[in-house]
Amino acid sequence: MKAKQELLDRKITYAVAISGGVDSFAAAHFLKILKFKIHCIHFNHNLRAQNDVMQNVCARFCSDFRIPFTTDIRTCNKGELEHELRECRLNFFRSIGKPIICAHHLSDCAESYLMNAIKGCAEHLPIKPISYFGGDRPMTILRPFLANKKKAMIRYAENNYLTEYVVEDETNQHNQHFRNKIRNVILPMLADKGIEKVVFKKFYSDF
């Protein structure tokens, strides 16, 4: 597993977004081992009982590895649409007042690339390494792990005994969601076509 450390400044404390999934735990642990200044954050979407389980494992992970931890629970909107949840999550991120690190990886980029292609805009950058948000509470989100395949992050978590914390989001298998269908049905069909390598060479070869 690797990170594009050129995106990061060792003088700055970063808020690492952790969800309870393997990717974010691997990313947070990796940055901790590299001695970056980090503070983990978790947003409880407050949709179902599993969300509380995920919050609890995030708190335990941070306690075990002595990482400062901040969490919040969704109250700003009772809607369940993806864009509504995203807006509430971003509002929480803005409130932190630090640059945010997310654990997006190359497999996520391949999903986004296929989604863009289906929509007719395959030339669009699948996931930006850095996103800037303006307004009265500006925010920066960094994604230094985009060169890693999902399996590399899983292997890192296994090698560092992090899997005991992982809670697999039960909605990840709901294929009525467009992204999940790409992830669970279409990408496995293209596994022997090297789609992740294509996306890496096309968009992320400088990582």
Give the C-alpha separation, 21 to 25, whole Å: 7
Mean pLDDT is lowest, of 30-39, 72-81, 163-172, 192-201, for: 72-81
What is the largest distance, in Å, between two alpha-carbon atoms of the chain? 47
Distances 2 to 61, 90, 103, 153, 155 between C-alpha atoms, Å: 21, 26, 11, 9, 12
Domain extents for the chain? Answer: 9-203
Q: Is 52 in contact with 44 (CB distance < 8 Å)?
A: yes
26: pLDDT strictly greater than 70 = yes
Q: Is 19 in contact with 57 (CB distance < 8 Å)?
A: no
Q: pLDDT-based confidence at 161, cuts 50/70/90?
A: very high
176: pLDDT strictly greater than 80 = no
Give the C-alpha separation, 173 to 78, whole Å: 23
Q: What is the pTM of this model?
A: 0.91
172: pLDDT strictly greater than 90 = no
Give the C-alpha separation, 47 to 188, whole Å: 29
* CATH superfamily of the domain spanning 9-203: HUPs (3.40.50.620)
35: pLDDT strictly greater than 70 = yes
Give per-residue pLDDT as tens, 87-124: 888 999 999 999 999 999 999 999 999 989 989 998 99
Please give the angle made by the CA atoms of 158, 106 and 178, to the nearest 5 degrees. 105
Q: pLDDT-based confidence at 169, cuts 50/70/90?
A: confident
